[in-house]
Homo-oligomer: A and B are copies of this chain.
Amino acid sequence: MSDRTPRPATIYAVAERAGVSIATVSRVLQGTNHVASATRDRVLDAARQLDYLPRGSARALAAKKHEAVGLMLPGLSGPYFADLLVGFETAAAECGLSVALLMTDERGLSSPLRQLVARVDGLAVMARPGQLAPDDLASLGRWLPLVRLAASDHPATIHAENTASARELTEHLFGHGRRRLEFVGDPELAPDAAERYAGFAAAHAGLGLVPAPAVPVGFAEADGRRYARQVLSRAEPPDGLVCVNDEVAVALLDELQRGGVVIGRDVAVTGWDDIMTARYTRPGLTSVSQPVRELGRLAATALHDVIAGGSTPGPAVLPTRIVIRGSCGCPEALPPDATEPQPGPTKEETK
């Protein structure tokens, strides 16, 4: 613990011990240039004996690169961000890049952001609308390669497909005979939400219907619960609820059930993201599965390409997959009463 050597070995110590110059040590350690294998071994030995570890800061300063990328997220609640992060980190590591993380849920972001920007070679940003002024972003882009996540307004954004899936999902509910649909989620809160509502509206337009206005609620369970209670108190409740994400959907579903509503019969409920919980509600939650991890991975590799190659990162849109379970009204191979045996896995029809 406390036998931490006051001054860890430097490249000079290694060079001296190996009887070579620091340049040679440097060459050996990063594998550039040719070094006679005998010399290399001596250097490697010396480094090992001294437990040498090059200071990242010194390397970064001299080489003018950090070998690190940053990821800025608007919070880390829910499985969505965790998965995104996994994909990002994995891909970054494969490219030999460290990952610096910044969550800026509520905090004033200016100072931490600058700190982050000063220590990475590229940055992936996912931010809520209004969280980051366009000026800030422009200024960021002047410093380093930038990739935007799920920002429909940005040219080089990378995100999952929303509008078409939302339309298809909505049409699926129409197919179940549902006509009084509502979109539960605030389009103002995220570009993704806006696109999903657009798809919801498009499906209505396709049938000559007028979509109900979006229900402006947040992304958390509490938001879903709250709205469910409001629905329960209404004289003419909707017969279908297209939720902006699964958190809202499962909470809403749960609360409606507690209010005596039979999901899939009285009302159809759908979510978005296909989180773990969607598989465990009764009925299972029909949802839209996004390749979130892939999204993170793509962000990291895009950054790596830009950093390495210098090309501008292109936009990308990833495909989604509608996962049908019981909450939309589809039959489900599940024990409604668990006393009667019903073997076999959940039926998950994918389009």
Q: Which residues of A contact B (CB under 8 A)?
A: 1-5, 8, 51, 53-61, 66-68, 75-79, 81-82, 85-86, 89-90, 93, 96, 98-103, 107, 112, 114-119, 139, 141-144, 156, 221, 247, 250, 254, 257-263, 276-277, 279-282, 312, 334-335, 337-345
Name the residue in A78, A98, A260 with the highest tally of chain B Cβ atoms < 10 Å from its Cβ: A98
A340 partner residues in chain B, CB cutoff 8 A: 260
A-B interface, 7 closest residue pairs, ranked by CB to CB distance from nearest: A260-B341, A57-B60, A56-B119, A82-B82, A56-B118, A57-B61, A277-B277
Q: Which of A57, A250, A339 has the largest number of chain B CB atoms within 10 A?
A: A57
Q: Are B103 and A116 in contact (CB under 8 A)?
A: no
Which of B77, B142, B335 touches A5 (beta carbons < 8 Å)? B142
With CB as the reference atom, state the residue of chain B lying closest to A51: B139
Chain B residues within an 8 Å CB radius of A144: 4
Q: Besides A54-B118, A101-B101, A260-B338, 17 other CB < 8 A contacts?
A: A4-B141, A4-B143, A8-B142, A53-B118, A53-B143, A56-B57, A76-B85, A93-B112, A98-B112, A98-B115, A100-B101, A254-B279, A258-B335, A261-B338, A263-B338, A276-B276, A280-B281
**Min distance, Cβ A253 to any Cβ of chain B, angstroms:** 8
Contacts of A259 in B (CB 8 A): 341, 343
Task: Please give, as numbers and ranges, the residues of chain B lying within 8 Å of A81 by CB-CB distance.
Answer: 82
A8 touches B338 (CB 8 A): no
Q: How far is the CA of A116 from the CA of B262 in the complex (A)?
A: 52
Number of copies: 2
Complex: A90 Cα to B154 Cα, angstroms: 28
**Contact partner, A100, options B5, B58, B68, B257, Cβ 8 Å:** B68
Check A142 against B254 for contact (C-beta < 8 Å).
Answer: no
- The smallest C-beta distance from A190 to any residue of chain B, in angstroms, reads 19
Check A116–B89 contact: CB distance below 8 A: no
Give min CB distance, A299 to chain B, whole Å.
Answer: 14
Residues on B with beta carbons closer than 8 Å to the beta carbon of A156 = 1
